[in-house]
Chains A and B, each alone.
Chain A
Amino acid sequence: EAAVTQSPRNKVAVTGGKVTLSCNQTNNHNNMYWYRQDTGHGLRLIHYSYGAGSTEKGDIPDGYKASRPSQENFSLILELATPSQTSVYFCASGEGANTGQLYFGEGSKLTVL
């Protein structure tokens, strides 16, 4: 069964600190995505990747970096966390074809104080 796992599931960080959210998928999908979910906004795309070594900016990339060191792993990095980045973050993987659905992880709740 397709599986996407995220860690940590909950994180409290201080303003200015560095935060790394990790995502691992066992689907062997080429494409991976990081979204954030905020009330009233649905899911907004931060970064995505077409495969190992590639990262692309999504719709709201400012303040975030991404890293795809392997097919299975995709990280989201907040170098200098701010309270506005308090949110729930979802990782997803997809087959990359036009007809493919996304498989989501369980989400990571980040609170920046």
Chain B
Amino acid sequence: AQSVDQPDAHVTLYEGASLELRCSYSYSAAPYLFWYVQYPGQSLQFLLKYITGDAVVKGTKGFEAEFRKSNSSFNLKKSPAHWSDSAKYFCALDISNTGNYKYVFGAGTRLKVIA
């Protein structure tokens, strides 16, 4: 079965530090992976995606993510972190190549950046 795991429900760090939010997935086919961000009281916004090619993908707002097939991970990174990065982050797996255009979301990681 397809699944996405974000093992850290909460992450807190100081402004200026490096952030890395973890995401692992389970999927038998080639994964299409996404990160979305949800600011307080708002909807979800697209950050970046990995489809194929370079393992490191860059997205909006200075974020990047590294795809590692060896351990089925797709971690989100940013350095330095800013207080405005405080939000909830969701990792998602596109399982469209099963024939259904569906996405599986992780439970999310709530990031708090202390100024």
Chain A contact residues, CB within 8 Å of chain B: 31, 33, 35, 40-45, 48, 50, 56, 58, 90, 92, 94, 96-99, 101-107
Contacts and interface: CB of A to CB of B under 8 A. Distances in A.
Nearest to B4: A42
Interface footprint category on B: 20 to 34
Nearest to A92: B44
Contact of A48 (B46, B51, B101, B105): B101
Interface of B: 6, 9, 32, 34, 36, 42-46, 49, 51, 90, 92, 94, 96-97, 100-103, 105-108
Interface centre among A33, A42, A48 (most CB of B within 10 A): A42
Question: Of residues B44, B46, B49, which shows the largest number of chain A Cβ atoms within 10 Å of its Cβ?
Answer: B44
Given A41-B107, A42-B107, A98-B51, A58 B43 contact: no
Contact of A98 (B42, B43, B46, B97): B97
Contacts of A96: 101
13 contacts: A35-B105, A40-B9, A40-B107, A42-B6, A42-B108, A43-B105, A48-B102, A58-B102, A98-B32, A98-B96, A98-B97, A99-B32, A101-B34
B46 A90 contact: no
Contact of A102 (B100, B103, B106, B107): B103
Given A99-B32, A102-B34, 14 more contacts: A43-B44, A48-B101, A48-B102, A50-B101, A56-B100, A92-B44, A94-B101, A98-B32, A99-B94, A101-B34, A102-B103, A106-B42, A106-B43, A107-B43
A101 B46 CA distance: 7
Contacts of B94: 98-99
A43 B90 CA distance: 9
A94 B100 CA distance: 13
Given A40-B107, A41-B107, A42-B107, A99 B49 contact: yes
B51 A90 contact: no
Contact of A105 (B43, B96, B102, B108): B43
